[in-house]
Amino acid sequence: MENVTGSGFLDGKSLSEKFGVVDYVVFIGMLGISAGIGVVYGCFGKEQSSTSEFLMAGRNMGIYVERNMCRNVIFFLIFFI
């Protein structure tokens, strides 16, 4: 088992030493896909009639999406705060 006590995110290395070419390609690809989805829904999706409808997704979100969003918030709170 690897000893991880006292290890930080970078461990004295710069970010460019931690990320390889494949990591950058995947990261930029994910950002591109997310931006593309946002542009498509922004241009061609149905328009919301109010701010409340936009923020609450029209109260039309499936249970899987709701659970996943809760898991993401909990993960963020545990590991980044």
- Residue 17 in this model has a pLDDT that exceeds 80: no
CA distances from 65 to 13, 16, 36, 60 (A): 37, 34, 20, 10
Residue 40 has pLDDT above 60, yes or no: yes
Q: Give Cβ neighbours of residue 27 (< 8 Å, ≥ 6 apart).
A: 19
Where residue 28 falls among pLDDT bands split at 50, 70, 90? Answer: very high
pLDDT given for residue 35 in this prediction: 93
Q: Does 3 fall in a domain? A: no
31-38 contacts, C-beta under 8 A, 24 or more apart: none
The answer, yes or no, to whether residue 49 has pLDDT greater than 50, is yes
What is the end-to-end Cα distance of the chain in Å, rounded?
A: 26
Domain boundaries, position 41: 15-80
In-domain check, residue 6 = no
The answer to whether position 10 is within a domain reads no
Q: Which amino acid is at 59?
A: R
pTM for the whole structure: 0.47
Distance CA 60, CA 13 (A): 45
